[in-house]
Structure 1
Amino acid sequence: MFGIGGGEFFFIILVVLMLFGSDKIPEIARGLGRGMQQLKDATNDIKSEIHKSADVEGIKKSFTEIGSGIDTDGIHNTINGEIDKVKEDIEDMSGPIKRIK
């Protein structure tokens, strides 16, 4: 958890107890919990607004719709052709490459 070890965590708890006292700790924890819940709710609201606006604009597409128009065979052939060119260039510079088994 955040790169904090057991001894360090214990020391932090001890310092917090000394600063605030045992009666204030539950109030502080509740306040932190409420704040984190409000932050989570706000981020969820922002996400939902972004998704709604994307749906209205027609921007949102599934990955299958996007990927259906891509010619993967042509891409593979192009990549393989480039790899072969590089292999030939290396062989021209250094001679044939022998694999040791």
Structure 2
Amino acid sequence: MEHLHRTGGRPRHHPSPTDRRIVQMLAGQAVPQPEICRILAVSPKTLRKAYRRELDVGAAKLEAALVGQLLRLAAGTDDVALRAIIYLLRCRFGWSRYAPPPCG
């Protein structure tokens, strides 16, 4: 019996530079990964494997933009500024209302 060379599944995905830019832009606009998969017609596993850097860079750019907006809000003088400052201190610097006060 002859041994037939079989290839299983779909053909390998080769990301183009345009696809990479699209993924980074969409990730930077907080588009969910399932939506990005539908746009590119790839599986979630393929998206994470082939576009890991683009997903990470897009998420980092989004986070930087959000932190910039939060800092802008914190520079105000109203109750929104106070809530933004408290949020920043808790999330970015680990402050907690339940932690004991520092000794000193």
TM-score (norm 1): 0.32
Larger RCO, structure (CA 8 Å, separation 6 or more): 2
Bigger radius of gyration, 1 or 2?
1
